[in-house]
Structure 1
Amino acid sequence: MLRVSFVSIPISDQDRSLKFYTEKLGFDVVTDQPFGNGTRWIQLRPPGAQTDVVLFTPPGQEERIGGFQSMAFTCEDVVGTCRMLKERGVEFVKDAERANWGGMEAIFKDPDGNTFVLANPNE
């Protein structure tokens, strides 16, 4: 059976991103080690998740930084999670609301301007 091991989030500053994803979003560090050319392989895991995120931008892929990311995060309570993340300083570009597909969703961004959907189809 195949599973997704990790997805990469394109970032410009690994230290700043590490601080954001651990302190503001609450992700745990799985690996933080040298990767070559002055970069590090930083692999994080959202609590309870089976898929990790990696804070790394491959050389030549810098144009991916700062756009809409084709990945979504989920939680049990989108409204409550938005409130908690806003208190931690996370910026939302779309507040929690009922989506046209029926669930609740919001959109937040990281320090590089990467935007992510936060959703729960069962709310």
Structure 2
Amino acid sequence: MIRVRFVSIPVSDQDRALKFYTEKLGFQVVTDQPFGNGQRWIELQPPGADTLVVLFTPPGHEHLIGKFQNVAFTCDDVEGTYRDLASRGVEFVQPARRAEWGGVEAIFKDPDGNTFVLAAPARE
């Protein structure tokens, strides 16, 4: 059985990103160790998730920093999570709203401008 081990988020400043993902989003540090070329290998775990988030930019991939990321986060209550994260200073480019596909979604940015969807599936 194939599963997703981690997704990588390209960042320009690992210290600033680490602070955002742990203090603002509540992710837990799993690994933080030197990885060469002045970077670290930083693995974070969102609460209750099996898939890890890695704050690392491979050489030659710097152009991906600050773009829409093909990573969607989920939670049980998008509206409540939106309010909570916004109160912590997380920048949203789209507030929580009912999506055309039936679920609820919001879109937020990290300090580098990487953009992510926060969504919950439609309830029956």
TM-score of the superposed pair, with normalisation by structure 1: 0.98
Residue 28 of structure 1 corresponds to which residue in structure 2?
A: 28
Q: Does 1:69 align with 2:78?
A: no
Indicate the percent of aligned positions where both proteins have the same amino acid. 76
Q: How does 1:51-70 map to 2 (within 5 A)?
A: 51-70=51-70
Large movers: runs of 4+ above 2 Å: none
Q: Does 1:113 align with 2:92?
A: no
User: In structure 1, what is the Cα distance between the partners aligned to 2:39 and 2:10?
Assistant: 13
**Aligned partner of residue 92 in structure 2, secondary structure:** strand
Deviation of residue 37 (structure 1)?
A: 1.1
Residue 101 of structure 2 corresponds to which residue in structure 1?
A: 101
In structure 2, the gaps of 5 or more residues are none
**Aligned partner of residue 12 in structure 2, secondary structure:** coil
Q: How does 1:69-88 map to 2 (within 5 A)?
A: 69-88=69-88
Alpha-carbon displacement from aligned partner over 1:70-121 (angstroms, at most 9, x marks no partner): 0100000000000000111100000000000000000000000000000001
Q: Which letter does structure 2 place at the counterpart of 1:79?
A: E
- Number of equivalenced pairs: 123
User: In structure 1, what is the Cα distance between the partners aligned to 2:18 and 2:97?
Assistant: 28
Deviation of residue 17 (structure 1)?
A: 0.1
Residue 3 of structure 1 corresponds to which residue in structure 2?
A: 3
Deviation of residue 36 (structure 1)?
A: 0.6
Q: Does 1:15 align with 2:15?
A: yes
Alpha-carbon displacement from aligned partner over 1:5-60 (angstroms, at most 9, x marks no partner): 00000000000000000000000000000001111000000000000000000000
Give the CA RMSD over aligned residues: 0.6
TM-score of the superposed pair, with normalisation by structure 2: 0.98
User: In structure 1, what is the Cα distance between the partners aligned to 2:15 and 2:79?
Assistant: 29
